[in-house]
Amino acid sequence: MAARLTGRAVRAVRPLSGALTEVTLDDGHTVVVKRGDGPGAARAETAGLRWLTAAGAVAVPTVHGDDPHRLVIDRVPPGRPGAEAALRFGRDLAALHAAGAPAFGAPPPGGPQDAYIGRAPMRNVPGTDWPLWYAEHRVLPYVRLAADAGTLRSTEAALFERVCERLPDLAGPAEPPARLHGDLWNGNVLWGPDQVWLIDPAAHGGHRETDLAMLHLFGCPHLDQVREGYHRAAPLADGWADRVGLHQLFPLLVHAVLFGRGYARQALSTAKAALER
């Protein structure tokens, strides 16, 4: 597979997991072959990685080949988390966001409208008004999926609908569409020898606070330094800390769809807190 996608002979193969295989090419270069999580997922991830690379801001593995089911990327050299790398990461993340997007929900060039975040479906439908777009395409679709699966009760689903109705008042100052990684949890933040690398994007145009809220939700080494580096480069609008929960509703609901009731309860608590502001 790696030979076909890269055009290079393979010297050695080492399985890493069910979806990942490490491959050493004939020139000694090490790459990783990744199987997509669903139909078209590999192509969506390839488009996202190339879009992030085009910003010239964050370190992203090079894509060496892809097909509808798999992609081949560089293996990220291992390193240890450090404060200086975290500061740089914050600055670079701000630059990535500033590279912008044509609209909220805009897919990467060449990327499909029907994409994925992890194993969950994610539709990239462009919009111009962030509160309306976020409600229609990043909150309510997952509320409906969770309700259909019985993970949320109908009375609980109504709570998220009330949050969506209030989003124009809760969202803070208007921001231009940012170029988001889109799935920025700690597992997709790899620490190399001297910098952070980002993998597995669900890239799209969105609100820059969403990427940062996901880092806060699932934790990140040296998060204070990451935040400091970001604020030095591009300070967030006043009140950003009060809006973290709003932006976390998206990943929490995705996790409720994928992993069940525990995340649904966390999403409910977050929605209640938003309504009490």
Measure the CA–CA gap between 274 and 248, rounded to whole angstroms.
Answer: 11
pLDDT of res. 18? 74
Give the tens place of pLDDT for each residue, 2-60. 667 666 767 777 888 878 888 878 887 888 888 877 778 899 999 999 999 999 999 99
Angle, helices 83-98/223-233, rounded to nearest 10 degrees? 40
What value does the mean pLDDT of the chain take?
Answer: 93
Is the pLDDT at 135 greater than 90, yes or no? yes
Residue holding tokens 């649904």?
264
Query: What is the DSSP secondary-structure string of 158-185?
Result: HHHHHHHHHHHHHS-S--PPEEE-S---
pLDDT of res. 3? 64
pLDDT of res. 47? 96
Is the pLDDT at 185 greater than 90, yes or no? yes
Dihedral sign of CA atoms 236, 241, 243, 249 in order:
positive
Angle, helices 240-259/261-275, rounded to nearest 10 degrees? 150
Measure the CA–CA gap between 84 and 91, rounded to whole angstroms.
Answer: 11
Distances (CA, A) of 244 to 32, 151, 211, 214, 217: 34, 23, 10, 9, 9
pLDDT of res. 22? 83
b/e sequence 71-101, b meaning 16+ C-beta within 10 Å: bbbbebeeeeebeebbbbbbbbbbbbbeeeb
Is the pLDDT at 101 greater than 80, yes or no? yes
Dihedral sign of CA atoms 175, 177, 179, 182 in order:
positive
pLDDT above 70: percentage of residues in the chain: 97
Is the pLDDT at 226 greater than 70, yes or no? yes
Is the pLDDT at 197 greater than 80, yes or no? yes
pLDDT of res. 37? 76
Range with the lowest mean pLDDT among 18-32, 95-109, 112-126, 135-149? Answer: 18-32
Mean pLDDT score, 80-105: 97
Mean pLDDT score, 124-132: 97
Answer yes or no: are the C-beta atoms of 55 and 64 closer than 8 Å.
no
Mean pLDDT score, 200-206: 97
pLDDT of res. 116? 92
**Which two tokens mark 21?**
């295989």
Is the pLDDT at 207 greater than 90, yes or no? yes
Which one has a higher pLDDT value, 13 or 83? 83
Give the residue from 176, 220, 225 showing the smallest Cα distance to 198.
220
Mean pLDDT score, 95-124: 95
**Which two tokens mark 5?**
């996608």
Give the model's confidence band at 1: pLDDT under 50 very low, under 70 low, under 90 confident, else very high: low
Fold classified for 77-277? Aminoglycoside 3'-phosphotransferase; Chain: A, domain 2 (3.90.1200)
Measure the CA–CA gap between 109 and 246, rounded to whole angstroms.
Answer: 28
> Using the 8-state DSSP alphabet, how is residue 127 labeled?
B
Give the model's confidence band at 155: pLDDT under 50 very low, under 70 low, under 90 confident, else very high: very high
CA 16 to chain centre: 22
Mean pLDDT score, 133-158: 96
